[in-house]
Amino acid sequence: MKSKFVPPIGKITKIKGQCITLIGNDIDTDRIIPARFLKCVNFDSLGEYVFKDDRETLKGKHPFDLEENKNATILIVNSNFGCGSSREHAPQALMRWGIKAIIGESFADIFYSNCIAIGIPCLALPKKSILEIQKNKDNKFLFLEIDLKNSLAKSKNLSLKLEIKESSRKMFLLGEWDATATLLENESLIKNKCKDLPYLEFNNYFS
């Protein structure tokens, strides 16, 4: 079992962790979290069902079932990861399994945006670099430290220059990816704005 889920909050500048590799292009959101699990009232239990069908097919040999990967937090993927339907459940399931960052060749746009919105950086590397990580047996237990400020990922014997949209990078460094935290930090501004709006009864919203 994975450790108790702790959601990210505020500024995200560095992420450390063991890598888990998932090989294949165009891995879609239906594979990440099958449609039958979308009826949940909240996202809390989704980590248990991430890649459920793929894992059943591989009968314990899927990377997300291997004992050696049980504490992994950084997912290594190939191209167009997260394509298909726009379900936000896909990054939610990955996060609740334990994934804190994803490094890949490329990502589907909506999946990328859904990840950013819940605090999962999606970072890009050239295909050659991704394949070297995936094929190198010495990287079976690869631990990386991701430095978002400098867009770098480092291990003892490895230094990788990562690509990330500048707007996304700034959101993580400033904590602005976290919409709820941003609202709370600006409570006084919200109250003042409400006072200026003639169609709001201020006391009904703030006591």
pLDDT digits (tens, 9 = 90+) for 107-134: 999 999 999 999 999 999 999 999 999 8
Half-sphere exposure in the Cβ direction for 12 (13 Å, CA): 25
Please check the confidence at residue 164 and state whether its pLDDT lies above 60.
Answer: yes
- Do 103 and 194 fall within a single domain? no
Tell me: do 189 and 108 sit in the same domain.
Answer: no
Q: What span, in angstroms and rounded, lies between the C-alpha atoms of 123 and 146?
A: 10
In terms of domains, do 169 and 199 share one? no
Within a domain: residue 2?
no
Distance CA 67, CA 47 (A): 16
**Are 108 and 190 within one domain?**
no
pLDDT tens-place string over residues 65-102: 999 999 999 999 999 999 999 889 999 999 999 999 99
Q: Same domain, yes or no, for 155 and 187?
A: no
For residue 7, tell me if it sits in a domain: no
Percent residues over pLDDT 70 in the chain: 86
Exposed e or buried b per residue across 33-47, where buried means at least 16 C-beta atoms within 10 angstroms of its C-beta? bbeebeeeeebeebb
Number of domains composing the chain: 2
- What's the mean pLDDT in 46-54? 95
Cβ atoms of 77 and 27 closer than 8 Å: yes
100 shares a domain with 182? no
Q: Which residue has the tokens 């409570």?
A: 187
Give long-range contacts, CB 8 A cutoff, 24+ apart: 157-163. 160/125, 160/129, 162/103, 162/123, 162/124, 162/125, 163/123, 163/124, 163/125
> Do 67 and 156 belong to one domain?
yes
Does residue 144 sit in the same domain as residue 196?
Answer: no
Residues sharing a CB contact under 8 Å with residue 28, sequence separation 6 or more, in sequence order: 82, 83, 84, 85
CATH code (residue 164): 3.20.19.10
Looking at the structure, do residues 140 and 185 belong to the same domain, yes or no? no
Mean pLDDT of 43-72: 94
Query: Is the same domain home to 102 and 202?
Result: no
> 83 and 21 in one domain?
yes
> Domain containing 26: what range?
14-175
Distance CA 162, CA 148 (A): 9
Classify residue 127: in a domain, yes or no. Answer: yes
Residues 47 and 121 in one domain: yes
Residue 6 lies in a domain: no
Beta strand residue intervals within 47-151, DSSP E: 74-76, 101-104, 122-124, 143-147
Residue 4, domain member (yes or no) = no
CA distance to 42, 67, 75, 141, 144, per residue, from 61 (Å): 29, 10, 17, 16, 24
